[in-house]
Amino acid sequence: MHKIRILTGSVFILLLAVGLEVASQRLLWTDEYFNLTSTLNASYKSLFIGIDQASNSPLFNVIQKLLRDLFSYHPPQEWVEGHWRGTHVFDQVFLRLQSVIFVAAALSALFYYFYRRDSLFVGLYAVAVATTSSIVWVHWTEARPYAVWFSLSLFQILLLLNILEDTSSQNKKKLVYLILVHCLLALSATISAIQIIAAGMVLWMFHRSKALWYLPLVVLPLGICSYYYFNSSHFLFYFVDGPLALISANIPKDRLFIIFISAGILVLRCRFKGWTAQLEMKYLIFLILVLGAFVLELLQLKYGQAPGQRTNLVSSRYLFSLSPVGIVGTVLFSVYLVKAFPSKLWKIAAVLILIGFLFFRAHKTVQQDPVSLVSNFMVF
């Protein structure tokens, strides 16, 4: 265990260094400037109660204000006056610091979980899967709420897996941690209601916690989401990319292929060995619930409005919590796929195929360096 913690700390430091380096090279873009200037003179109270810009994402803004106050930070005057194209390396890094730290911590937790559960190789594979996701690079070093939302979603999933693995008794400490994460998710994005409900349903099906636990675990965070949803601005949405393209930006098609091929094998095997025996089956239900809810939400947005009404573009970043769902699913089902083959030769073949998929995704990602990746995802 001591070795795992040392290696996890090393992974965190490495990821932190990479994130800070990328943050120092990327100029702030329009939304980052707007987020900063629109909340610059806001009070903590106004940010929490939701009367300022980005009021449905108060957590990021409160943390950013806390850091600004703690270090007596003030942005360059030219930025405040609306001249946003100046290069200020320190300011770029400082404003993106919480995003960089959150993502480095979340990916380190991903490494720790799969290293402890399976092996060092699987832990490294998990980090490789995460860092070959183009959309992760886009939002990792951005002074916007998306990186925090991604990180909390990943923490939620890892806690959920830990609780579902604990079949001996209810682990109250982990449930308390999950309650905290759910409340923070509710303060990060109102659409987090989808993954909060999905986690509650899976726990109800398989963990059988006492009913009172679901008040702070599900009802309280849903109440927080509802408050910010009804007190924030509402827009009419339009699409440039279709729902499938938006989903595949967060869970690429090759990873969906790995997940559902492995899931098909799992379902066939569980038919004879019991449906609830496998952690992968429990996670598959969670994944389907989250994915299905996002699909329904996208369809409602696309076909539920009058033609010609165009106000706000539906971007892949609005589905960013799907990315950690797909990352964990890819790793979990990759491991299952290898273990499912009885022959050593078939296991080796499966590992080589999975590595091939990983290199294919890495090639797609490094065709553009992390600094320029932003140009293909952001909408100005």
SS (HEC) of 313-329: ECCHHHHCCHHHHHHHH
Residue 257 has pLDDT above 70, yes or no: yes
pLDDT of residue 213: 87
pLDDT of residue 169: 52
Q: Which structure tokens are listed for 357?
A: 């998929």
- From CA 185, how far away is CA 183, in angstroms rounded? 5
Three-state secondary-structure class, residue 16: helix
pLDDT of residue 379: 41
Mean pLDDT, residues 164-185:
84
| DSSP symbol at 28 | P
Average predicted confidence (pLDDT) for the chain? 85
Give long-range contacts, CB 8 A cutoff, 24+ apart: 50-53. Answer: 50/227, 50/228, 50/231, 50/232, 51/231
Helix (H) or strand (E) holding 237: strand 237-238
CB atoms within 10 A of CB 99: 26
Map tokens 């850091």 to a residue: 67
Residue whose C-alpha is closest to residue 91's, from 75, 67, 114: 75
| DSSP symbol at 219 | I
Q: What is the pLDDT of residues 57-83, one digit of tens each?
A: 799 999 999 999 999 988 888 877 777
* % of the chain with per-residue pLDDT over 70: 88
Q: What's the pLDDT band for 376 if we cut at 50, 70, 90? A: very low
